[in-house]
Amino acid sequence: MTDTAENYPIEVEFPDISLHERSESGVPFVHTFESGVPGPHVMINALTHGNEVCGAIVVDALLRMQLRPRRGRLTLAFANVAAYLSFNPSEPDAGRFVDQDFNRVWTTEVLDDTARVSSELARAREMRPVIDTVDLLLDLHSMHEKSAPLIVSGPLDKGIELALQLGTPATVICDEGHPQGRRMRDYEPFGSADSPKNALLIECGQHWEQSAVTVARDTTARFLLLAGVVDSQDMPDGWIVPLPPAMRVVRVTEPVVADSMDFRFAGPYTGLEVFPDAGSLIAWSNGQPVYTPYNDCVLVMPSLRQLSPGVTVVRLGKIERTVAAG
């Protein structure tokens, strides 16, 4: 990846989600179904970013097939619909959000501050009463670059263990989030060690590649089965694919944040590259070299497609352990 990168091809069709606007929850595009049987409230969320279509394809399919929980409650949601509807294939990266990143506003302080106004904050506040009741959240994302898929578990042991129970994708990224603001998967009880509520974020692949849809289907089916709200016969044929032979847990130690537009990588990195030696050159920032701080440093989601001062352009991680999947 260089300073000027061509757009990736769009291999998938963007579903028409207009028929999902009216909902049982009273929140547009957020559908909650009750089983009448005790069990957790499980949420599958799509479109945290408007150009990340794989999750929308999965949620659209589940709503069209009228999936209902056998136990507990099930919420199927499209989040940043305004950004999704603004998507322009000639400028595909611009469809990420309207005013600000929807996945950087999830603190009580920000949501309660009515002086702060944006399209994304309005939508987050609209969805918040539903999210406050969720026990288990799966947030489906995709990536700027063509990287192998990964799970973002957050920094807590409970998130890492849930990721390992899910069994796929093969790389679990545990991190504190972004300096710009808190993600939905870290919101309040999801990010508290004292709460049993839990959340995972899946980066399914590059935004518009067909294989990202395969990952989104597989992880969604596995998550719903793991939570116990559905049975295996409820899921569409072919959604579940074989597990990877092993999983590795990578702990993010630090973000690399651009402080100006003068930032470039030293190579065409797309993600999960491992540098065996500390002191390896990976980038230049304002003309100054950026080096890996330790041996076997992993690059997590490097990209310049949203480059601006204050944006995290890559995160650096250590491999903590490798375990057999499943």
- Which pTM was predicted? 0.93
Q: How many CB atoms lie within 10 A of CB 290?
A: 19
Q: Are 149 and 126 in contact (CB under 8 A)?
A: no
| 24-38 tens-digit pLDDT | 889 999 999 999 999
- Tell whether the model's pLDDT for residue 245 goes beyond 60: yes
Give strand pairing partners of 317. Answer: 252, 298
Short-list 102, 82, 81, 85, CA closest to 29: 81
- Tell whether the model's pLDDT for residue 2 goes beyond 70: no
Token match 């929850």: residue? 25
Mean predicted confidence (pLDDT) in 227-239: 97
What are the start and end residues of each CATH 2.40.50 domain in the chain? 251-324
Mean predicted confidence (pLDDT) in 161-177: 95
Here the tokens at position 228 are 């116990």
Amino acid at 25: S
| 270-294 tens-digit pLDDT | 999 999 999 999 999 999 999 999 9
pLDDT at 25: 85
With vertex at residue 102, the alpha carbon angle to CA 56 and CA 199, rounded to the nearest 5 degrees, is 70
Task: For 251-324, give the CATH class.
Answer: mainly beta
Strand blocks (E) in the chain: 30-34, 41-46, 73-78, 136-143, 150-152, 171-174, 198-206, 246-257, 263-265, 274-275, 281-285, 288-291, 297-300, 312-324
Q: Are 292 and 298 in contact (CB under 8 A)?
A: no
Which CATH code fits 18-246?
3.40.630.10
- The whole-angstrom separation of Cα 221 and Cα 12 is 20
- Tell whether the model's pLDDT for residue 81 goes beyond 60: yes
pLDDT at 207: 95
For the chain, what is the mean pLDDT? 95
| 104-139 tens-digit pLDDT | 999 999 999 999 999 999 999 999 999 999 999 999
What are the start and end residues of each CATH 3.40.630.10 domain in the chain? 18-246
Q: CB within 8 A of 241, min separation 6: which ones?
A: 214, 218
- Tell whether the model's pLDDT for residue 190 goes beyond 90: yes
What is the band of 326 on the pLDDT scale with cuts at 50, 70, 90? low
| 44-55 tens-digit pLDDT | 999 999 999 999
Mean predicted confidence (pLDDT) in 58-78: 98
